Amino acid sequence: MLILLPPSEGKSSPRRGARLDPVRLSFPSLGVAREQVLRALVDLCSGDPAVAAQVLAVPATKPELVEQNRLLRSAPTARADAVYTGVLYDALDLATLSAAGKRRAARRLAVTSSLFGLVHPGDRIPAYRLSGDASLPGLGPVAGVWREHLGDAVLDAVGSGLLVDLRSSTYAAFWRPPSELAPRVATVRVLHEVKGKRSVVSHFNKATKGRLVRALLEDGAAPRTPSALAEAWTRLGWTVESAESRQGTRLDVVVTAV
């Protein structure tokens, strides 16, 4: 089973640690594309900082993010699961998993990254600013770069198992599962139900997805089909409804309290 997560836009900057070593990152087949994106980003941020800030949509209150990118090759690194922060990662709380849960997370989780393509939780990376919808001078949209490279890496990682795709729409555009993989693809939508009416709420969607993944990692279940995944989450106390399509199976998780 492979669980694809989105990154967080906000990141925790490591204060100390070895500098980035791309060769040591997981998914080595992405090495060439990683170097292309890294070079384009560092080059952009080594020029006019005002131009870089505009291209990267850096808030005027955080000009240091451009300098952070300029120094990416020499910046300290930390585990990816310590660098990525935010609602989903707070709910997932990988650091407090049991030893068995951490081992499962190391094997089963992969974060989609606009800079690195894919990383496992234990990969050491620096903090960076590069949104999934960014377009870099001389390279073009980063989504376009990854569309050419992510497929083989994901398919190799998932093997004959289940792909649980929790990416946001921005990062889903980096790679879409082929139709032949559809029977083994599950996506998740979180619905908040109040007085019989259901709605999708972004903040709680992320938090619930974090809790769903945490529960699965701690439980140890290894479903191989979307229906088995739905059964596992139902057994763990969630309300899950399934809807199949040509792209895979969407699992609607219905919550009444957020």
DSSP secondary structure string for all residues of 2-35: EEEE---SSBPPPSS-PBP-GGGSS-GGGHHHHH
C-alpha 180/C-alpha 85 separation (Å) is 34
User: What pTM was computed for the model?
Assistant: 0.94
In the chain, DSSP assigns E strands to 2-5, 78-79, 109-113, 117-119, 124-125, 135-136, 140-141, 163-165, 185-194, 197-199, 239-245, 248-255
79 phi, psi to nearest 5 deg: -55, 145
- Say if residue 193's pLDDT is above 90: no
C-alpha 234/C-alpha 224 separation (Å) is 16
Q: List pLDDT tens digits, range 215-252.
A: 999 999 999 999 999 999 999 999 999 998 888 999 99
Across the range 185-212, mean pLDDT stands at 87
Give residue 114's pLDDT.
98
In this structure, the number of other CB atoms found within 10 A of the CB of residue 142 comes to 25
Give the total number of structural domains in the chain: 1
DSSP state of 92: H
Give residue 93's pLDDT.
96
Q: List pLDDT tens digits, range 91-132.
A: 999 999 999 999 999 999 999 999 999 999 999 999 999 999
Domain residues for 166? Answer: 2-255
- Burial of residue 42 (CB within 10 Å: 0-12, 13-18, 19+) is middle
pLDDT confidence tier of residue 139, bands split at 50, 70 and 90:
very high
Query: CA torsion, points 124, 39, 131, 127, in degrees to nearest 10?
Result: 30
- The continuous run of DSSP H or E covering 38 comes out as helix 31-45
- Pairing mode, if any, of strands 2-5 and 78-79? unpaired
